[in-house]
Amino acid sequence: MKLMFISDIHGALPATERALDLFAESGAQWLVILGDLLNHGPRNALPEGYAPAEVAKCLNKVADRIIAVRGNCDSEVDQMLLDFPITAPWQQILLPKQRLFLTHGHLYSPEALPPLVTHDIFISGHTHLPVATQHQRCYLFNPGSVSIPKGGHEASFGMLDDDVLSVRTLNGNRMIAQVQITP
């Protein structure tokens, strides 16, 4: 299975367009969006190319290929602009031998994990920091942010390609972090 992950778009149109170009090129079956789609939030500066209504239009073009969760900056008003559901605080994708637990990261986090079994994969956004690592019995994965990266990192996205989770730069598609997962 091949999945692409993005998080923390915060209404940035150029970042959305670039991410969707990469999604089209990737061959991924699904685009997983880990929250904070349209609004920048009160703690963030406006990202470059802030245009939430235009971001919604772009995402709606691939609505049938999106799995999304709600971020702390997402609201019912945002849902009115989008043709795919964004109000679930978490989702799960079941692989043959493990589970992907998807959430934004403000309710569940690496410090407050949901009940997971050995080799499950906890996938979140929220921190805007890329992570791909094994942690005790499970894996932790965060694709970073496509629009407002933090910690000196570049804007980034994530990929699951068979048994490899990787974080890549949005511009240049360079590897930032990766982890091999074993079921």
Give the pLDDT confidence score for residue 167 in this predicted structure: 98
Banded model confidence at residue 136, pLDDT cuts 50, 70, 90: confident
pLDDT tens per residue across span 27-74: 999 999 999 999 988 888 899 999 999 999 999 999 999 999 999 999
Report if pTM > 0.85. yes
d(CA 131, CA 142): 5
Q: Where are the domains of the chain?
A: 2-180
CA 46 to centroid of chain Cα atoms: 19
Q: How many helices (H) and strands (E) does the chain have?
A: 3, 11
Task: Give the full edge-to-edge strand order of the sheet including 164-169.
Answer: 66-68, 30-33, 2-6, 156-161, 164-169, 175-180
Rounded average pLDDT over 75-88: 97
User: How confident is the prediction for the chain on average, in pLDDT?
Assistant: 96
Rounded average pLDDT over 96-100: 93
C-alpha closest to that of 153 among 133, 134, 175, 135? 175
Q: Which fold has domain 2-180?
A: Purple Acid Phosphatase; chain A, domain 2 (3.60.21)
> Can you name the residues that pair with 175 across neighbouring β-strands?
168
Give the pLDDT confidence score for residue 43 in this predicted structure: 85
C-alpha closest to that of 32 among 61, 72, 59? 59
